[in-house]
Amino acid sequence: MKKPYTPRGLPPKNIEWADHIPLIAQANAALARYDGILETMVNPGLLLSPLTTQEAVLSSRIEGTQATLEEVLEFEADPVRKIEPSKHADIQEIINYRTAINRAVDLLKKRPICLNLILELHGILMDSVRGANKSRGQFRKIQNWIGPPGCSIEDASFIPPSPDALPAALDAWEKYIHSEEKDRLAQLAVVKAQFELIHPFLDGNGRIGRMLIPLFLFEKKILSAPMFYLSDYLERNRAQYYQALNSISEHEDWNGWIRFFLTALAEQAMENTKKARAVLKLYEKMKREVPAITRSQYAVQAIDTLFYRPIFSTTDFITDSKIPKFTAFRILSELEGKGILNVLREGRGRKASILVFNELIEITEHIG
């Protein structure tokens, strides 16, 4: 049987800094280009809201959920509609992920990344979902292990540190986040990996670890907004992702992990830039077309509401946009008539229609 992993001191002693310079430069340049797009957005939180939800979808998919972006947004537009219990559970996990990262953004305005912040995020992430009974919002007090579903500790592929070793490991990890390092991106690679190796929770470690990425980039002022979506790359390269992490625990191969992580940052920053540019281009297009179609003083409110929630009920549109009811219905009818909006489900009786802004969904899921 494997022994529990013993975290080494931070920073790792064997980082080959000179070898990483080309990738560090590439990742920093790609992130700077992406941040340039963020800085041109008046409200990136609103415009990139669907991308934040898609990040929640993909990060949760790495852990086994199957729900899609459309299914999540459609559920939020009509939460009383009956769906399979397993699908409902998947969707709730995704919504919790998005709620946690939005909460983290608020918390970072008052305090830096710290263990108490991590505990609060975990409490939100695991609220009323599978694993909610596994010490939600608390660091574990028992041994956990990783392996095939249902395996015993004897057959585990990885055994995290023992509960007695957690306090010291987490304290060192927290201190390292706020230490000065030769490069912030390599430091983030170490922060992310060490958290997952410590595995301080009984469930939700991977999702919290991935959440740390945009929060760190924002706190260290590498990005002007905490909006970076790495789960797409990690989900597509899942086998390499886990292999690189395992190589740290088995061979202390921090350099292999840092290479993988810097490559992920650089490539995903380029993909995120394409998506953000496409969203911004669509927003500018809507700012020309919607006022011309509707001739309404509420055109900008309508556009912002569509970008915030691209699948919605007519009732939610009225509430979110704060546009008077009859004017809102007229705007929606005119946008549907011009093909900007499509009906997903017709309303019946008191049940509101569900509409979709397909062009934004297409960018969110397929551009890049």
Identify whether residues 55 and 135 lie together within a single domain. Answer: yes
Q: Please indicate, yes or no, if residue 7 is contained in any of the structural domains.
A: no
Residue 203 marked ligand-binding: yes
Identify whether residues 306 and 332 lie together within a single domain. Answer: yes
Q: Which tokens belong to 131?
A: 């694993």
Residue 113 marked ligand-binding: no
pLDDT-derived band at 350, boundaries 50, 70, 90: confident
Identify whether residues 122 and 254 lie together within a single domain. Answer: yes
Residue 242 marked ligand-binding: yes
Range of the domain at 67: 17-275
Q: Is the predicted pLDDT of residue 304 greater than 90, yes or no?
A: yes
Q: Is 366 labeled as catalytic in the residue annotation? A: no
The residues, ordered by sequence, that sit 6+ positions from 207 with a Cβ below 8 Å of its Cβ are 59, 60, 63, 97, 125
Q: Which of 88, 199, 251, 366 is catalytic?
A: 199
The 8-class DSSP code of residue 164 comes to G
Q: Please indicate, yes or no, if residue 281 is contained in any of the structural domains.
A: no
Residue 209 marked ligand-binding: yes
Q: Is the predicted pLDDT of residue 134 greater than 80, yes or no?
A: no
CA distance 141 to 293: 60
Query: What DSSP line would sit under 206-220, residue for residue?
Result: HHHHHHHHHHHHHHT
Decide which of 245, 275, 305 is a domain's last residue: 275
Identify whether residues 126 and 267 lie together within a single domain. Answer: yes
The CATH number assigned to the domain holding 299 equals 1.10.10.10
Identify whether residues 350 and 240 lie together within a single domain. Answer: no
Q: Is the predicted pLDDT of residue 130 greater than 80, yes or no?
A: no
Q: Among 194, 144, 143, 193, which Cα is nearest to 172's?
A: 194
User: Taking the alpha carbons of 40, 46, 47, 51 in that order, is the dihedral positive or negative?
Assistant: positive
Residue 208 marked ligand-binding: yes
Decide which of 218, 249, 275 is a domain's last residue: 275
Query: What DSSP line would sit under 62-93, residue for residue?
Result: HTT----HHHHHHHHHSTTS---HHHHHHHHH
Identify whether residues 267 and 295 lie together within a single domain. Answer: no
Name the CA radius of gyration of the chain, rounded. 22
Identify whether residues 60 and 118 lie together within a single domain. Answer: yes
Could you tell me the pTM of the whole model?
0.93
* Structural domains in the chain (count): 2
Per-residue pLDDT, averaged over 339-363, amounts to 94
Beta bridge partners of 312: 355
Percentage of the residues of the chain whose pLDDT score is greater than 70 = 99
Identify whether residues 255 and 306 lie together within a single domain. Answer: no
CA distance 304 to 145: 45
Sheet containing 354-356: order of strands: 311-313, 354-356, 342-345
Q: Among 33, 72, 65, 76, which Cα is nearest to 51's?
A: 72
The CATH number assigned to the domain holding 93 equals 1.10.3290.10
Kindly list the distances between the CA atom of residue 128 and the CA atoms of 77, 96, 101, in Å, as whole numbers in the listed order: 20, 9, 17
| Contact call for residues 219 and 113 (beta carbons, < 8 A) | yes
29-78: per-residue pLDDT in tens? 999 999 999 999 989 999 999 999 999 999 999 998 999 999 999 999 99
Q: Please indicate, yes or no, if residue 280 is contained in any of the structural domains.
A: no
Query: How many C-beta atoms lie closer than 10 Å to residue 34's C-beta?
Result: 26
Q: Is the predicted pLDDT of residue 150 greater than 90, yes or no?
A: no
Residue 183 marked ligand-binding: no
| Contact call for residues 321 and 344 (beta carbons, < 8 A) | no
Q: Please indicate, yes or no, if residue 302 is contained in any of the structural domains.
A: yes
Q: Please indicate, yes or no, if residue 215 is contained in any of the structural domains.
A: yes
Q: Please indicate, yes or no, if residue 3 is contained in any of the structural domains.
A: no
Q: Please indicate, yes or no, if residue 91 is contained in any of the structural domains.
A: yes
